[in-house]
Structure 1
Amino acid sequence: MNYVYILRCSDDSLYTGWTTNLENRVKAHSSGKGAKYTRTRLPVKLVYFEEYQDKRDAQRREYAIKQLSRLEKLKLIKE
C-alpha cells in the first residue's frame, strides 16, 4: 500500500509527503529523522492521509496536494 499524508508541524505549517509505510514514516518525522523541513518544526501530528495501490498514483496525488493553497489543504483535512 502507498500513502499520501499531511502533517501539521509545531509552527502550524503543513507538510505533505508519500510513503509505503505510514506508521514508520510518521515515527521518523516525529523523531527528527524525517524530512529536513520537519526536523526543525517538531513535534508533528498526522492530520490527513489517503491510500493508493499504485506508487505512481500516490506520487501524483502528493504533487497535486502540494500545488494546493494552504486554505485548500485545510479544507481537504476538514473533509
Structure 2
Amino acid sequence: MENPRARKIKFLKKHKLPLEIMILIMNKALEEKKYETALEIAYKTAPYCHPKLNDAKVEMTQIKTLEDMSEEELKNFIGKVALK
C-alpha cells in the first residue's frame, strides 16, 4: 500500500494547486493586456507569495545614564534588574 506522503506527491505532480492556477491566469491576463484583471489577481495572490513585513515586532530602548533617568524609569530599571 502506498504511504500518504507518496500519494500526496503523486497528486501534486498530476494536479495544479489553486495558487498556481491563479498565477497562470494572471500571467495570461498580462499577455492579453487585461491589466485590471491581472492586478486584481496579483492583489489576491500576493499574501501567499510574499511574507508580511509588518508582522515583525521591534522593541527599542534608549540607553540613559542613571542620572538622566526619571524616578519612574529608575524604578522600572531596578525592577528589571531585580528579576534577573
Bin the TM-score by the shorter chain: under 0.3
Greater Rg by CA: 2
More strand by share: 1
Compare the two structures and name the one with the higher helix fraction: 2
TM-score normalised over the length of structure 1? 0.23
TM-score w.r.t. length of structure 2: 0.22
